[in-house]
Structure 1
Amino acid sequence: GTLAYQWQREGEDLAGAQTSILTLSSTTASDGGSYRVLVSNEGGVTTSAAANLTVHTPPVITSQPVGVDLSSGDLLRLSVTATGTGPFSYQWQFNQTPLSTQTAATLEIAAVSLGEAGQYRVIVTSPGGTVTSASAVVTVQPIQVANPPAILTHPASQSLAPGVTLELKVTATGEGPLHYRWQFNGFNIPGASQDSFTLGDAQPADSGDYQVVVSNAGGSVTSEVAQVKIVEGPSILQGPVSQTVQAGQQMVLSVEASGTPPLNYQWRYQGFNIPGARGSTFQIDSVQLIDAGTYQVVVSDASGAQVQSLPALLEVVTEPVNTSRITSVQLSDGGLLIQWEAKEGRVLQAKARLEDAIWRDIPGSEGQSESRQALLGNATFYRLLDR
């Protein structure tokens, strides 16, 4: 008799599938499964063995390799992500030439070289087909090697008196960052890592050779040695004294000092060196109002150490003034001994700052010839007044 057919998928009848041949057009992954056919006639029904259908979908790249800009020696890493029916195989290419060792989803070159700059792509293969990624451009720059630093100004040798502050400085140039390491007699000084080194209250034990090592990525350079001597320097026996002088009159300042000869002198006005003023005395033959201010002298000896006098105040007035002068200023018993020629009505006055308007009498000084004042650490200005 006549045979009838009914195709089934996963045990369910397929509509319209009633011929001896089953044709599926435009199959997709969802068409996969177990197929069989039921054949019947007047005598009964028989069922075929099951046939399993697997539909392979072609690979699709969902994440392309991305180009990078590297320096020679850097790690090169490129990767690709694909979907579809697996398993997948990968073949990376460099400028369209297969790389035999690069057959994974991620390409890695531990230390890329200049010759490995170019275009990279990967061919992805699966049971569903083959797809080629977009090209990723890799650039490789040569390593920029820094030049070692250069020292422009070396730390200077110096001689100082005990108790003063030692200051050393270096000036260097080069590709940063620059690093500094100061050394004393060849050994690193802990914490001394700036372009300058400061040591307060220097003592003779701090005498020696100082140098600094300056470094960067390109190397290092060591400065010249600065020889530092902490020695007992000169002392001022009698410093310059403050004066009040009428404009147009002569003004003379003097200092008496001791130390290892020869002694050198440098007079200063308002904190600045006076050119050519290098003797134990300094004078202005015709004082003008502009000359008013504070004067000091720096004394140095053969050891190179130096000491600076206390400031002496010069007041310049337009009216005649008395000629009384302080004759001696000395350090004595931790204080300041000021002496002058005694006279009835003559009194010692003082003020702490030049801008103070009022001179104040020193108690007990009127009619006397001397006064002992405590050293308070700040400058004090003194004068004599005849009443």
Structure 2
Amino acid sequence: MNHKSPISTKARWLMVFAICARSAVGMAQINSVVTVDTNLALVINGRTVFPIGLSPGPPNNALTPAGKDALQEFRDSGALLFRIAQSTDWSSTVISNQQVALDWAAQHGMFCWVNLRELSQFSSGDTNTPAALRYIVDLFKDHPGMGLWKNLDEAWLAGVSVANLSNGFYVIKQEDANHPVVQTHAPRGTVSDLQPYNVAADILALDIYPVAIPPPSNPPITNTGVSQLGDWTQVLSQVANGQKEFWMIEQIAFSGTTPPGKTLTFPTYTQSRFMAYEAIANGARGLMFFGGNVAATLTNATDAALGWNWSFWNSTLKPVVEQLGDHSLLAKALVAPASSLPITLSGTSFPDIEFCVREVPPCLYIIATKREGATTNVTFSGLPSWAANGEVLYESRTITAAGGQFTDSFAPLDVHVYRFAESNFAPSILFPPQNQTNNVTSTATFSVTADGAGPLLYQWRKNGLNLADSGNVSGATTPRLTLSNVSPSDAASYDVVVNGFGSVTSSPPATLTIISNQAPVIISQPRSQTNTVGASASFTVAAVGPSPLSYQWRKNGSPLSDGGNISGATSPNLMLSNLQFSDAGGYDVVITMFGSVTSAPIAALNIVASSLLLYEPFNYDNIGSPVSFNNPANWTFNGSGANDLNVAPGSLTFAGLPTSIGNSVTNGGNGLGTRRLVGTGVNSGTIYFSALFRVNNIGYGVWSGSSSQVGALTASDNTSFRLQVMAKATSSACYTVGVQKGGTGVSATFDNILHTTEETILLVGKYDFNTSPNSVYLWINPDVSTFGAGSPPADFISANTGIDSSFLIDRFNMRQNTASTVPAAMQWDELRIGTSWAAVTPPGSIPAPNITSFVQLPDLTFQLTYTNYTSNTFTLYASTNLSASWSAIGAATQISPGVYQFTDTTATNYSSRFYQLRSP
């Protein structure tokens, strides 16, 4: 079975995603074959390539801010690989996500790097893990979008034995001889530490992220500059020892640049280009780029809504990929073997200048990079006698060699790519202009990548007639043609003629389609919220469509302007500071694109007196040590055993809440119960809490699994647990959650939804002093549309049994006791305590709708699942082919907050079936 995701230009603004589903009977697939050749270069389906990938890439079936399919954007730039974000071990959800990603990749001529994670290593006596590994490998190995396997990340640093990793490697190779296995190392260890792991991989990789404030230290390498990437490339080259292909994994963002604990910074274009070429100069045969999806670094609202750093891509990474991707002038040189020519340099020494030499007849290439330090003049010697006039690629200049040598200047982090041709060679088109669809008054750009002995001459044509720079046309004799302020008369076929040394070639034509103005599509809407006097409020909208988009925020229908406590009135982000009661009202935004207008639904801003009593994000750096070591006066304990509510690296997250800050805490089994003091007490009205909670290990069989408290709003006597969050296990993998009031004669109320280990859930609790007897309420994963609302939603569980007494609630207990009374391993994060629902459920950005599962059921019908946390409603449309008319087939059923599912019961007999999801 194959499911694809084509998004036609005509329907693009109406769709979030589209899927082509084909039955196993109705089509034949061409399986991918990926190998490593004798030059240690990657070969995909018979074509030798220098792989560039995104690890991970954007969410499945995502769009760019301009509304283009994300993978098509990467492929057009020359990228080949991507990996999905995968934060949990393998499950049915991960399998579905990976299937969607493979289908998406295959549609665009790209390939997936599939992370086998925990399944890729096991002891010799383990029989369950290898069976699960065989299942996953067999499931995906014949998919046309399958590229490579990734085994357990950073095995040496993680303490995984060579034997265990080799056990996984042997199983993978037994099941699949057509796709290599990649082992990624951390920038740690020595050659002797890492080299033994070569037996468990076909390709080696190493991730190194040197751009941070302060610069990171990665011992045993002492260099903390950007050029430490070259040092680690050399280490990996020694580990590979001429026997393994190796790649470098380079930086977009990582934990060392993630606010608020770290200073947000990104590599500049100069740094990114230098690091990419430095890796190549030291022998790397592929590049991956990590961290485009790190939520806390997505400060642009559109990037945040789309789940990927398109701002960095457009400004920095895309031009680097275009220079090195498989459409580029260097594509053949990057996969050629190292030259044996005796080329040397003088004027400085290695590693100040790092270079490599490649020969692709009739051309000789020298790729050279300069580390930090002073500007240097360098002479290259040993060139063949025929090398005279050379090009410096991507710099629009030439270099002259005489007597087999030439001299050039290098500033810090400079990259120079020299090419000398022994003979003239005819021009050829490496990547032709692509079809485009544009709105009236927008700007259309066509570009071509051509090669040949320079200088090359370009002539663009419209419907076969030569163009000249005038009117709305510019670049008619350059590699890039620009048509500004397009109108219907510009709709035509465009091609380019390339002339070099008397030889002429022309590109295939590209069609420009001009469409009537279409309104931008809002993918993330501003949300209603309740804020306190003196606080700040922000409203954010994200929309896609060709630039430029213009924004105008309104309050109660009247346009706003910057001034006073208002900023961002004409941007995607409206900010109101130092809120007063007069700021309450209805806020919306009007978005304009080429004369077409759309507006977001009105979001209400309610202003109340301050009601948040505590926000504890566990933003502490003492990883692995007790959280109570930080500001000890904020913590108290009860029970016996170790003080081991410890700070854990990384945060728990929940879609729709603000981005989590700092780290988290873990506990479980034997140990002290740890209380976080609020700083003030409540004995009347209502008190709320919210927290992110996860059970990492139930410990079933040691923990009895019976109803047990795991957390509680607690009274000042430290032992009266007034609102208790309860858990009970149903198996070694599942548990349910309930609520119970404190005191004598109490009983718990449990929800009937099963939760699994390593599933993050949002708990919101309320203790109500106003009822008699007092009542406790618990919401489990409440709908994000209710966050920040003036009153709580109705989907709660509650309890009120037990005897009330006079008490003051002023702390929250994260409970430990004995191994038999609580789960073995729990995790907490983002604890809030306040006197209103809005105080403990602050709204964050809402992620764009995203498909999470697409499967064919045993009866051959198709079932899709998607998330939608916006207020948009969607209708599913289907067609038997993309050129046929589309028919509405129904709406999905909400199966949990923000999660929708639809089964196409009529689709059992189609060889091909296409789906669209449309919002009115």
TM-score between the two structures when normalised by the length of structure 2: 0.17
Report the structure, 1 or 2, having the larger helix content. Answer: 2
Report which of the two structures shows the higher radius of gyration computed on alpha carbons.
1
Give the TM-score of the pair, scaled to structure 1. Answer: 0.37
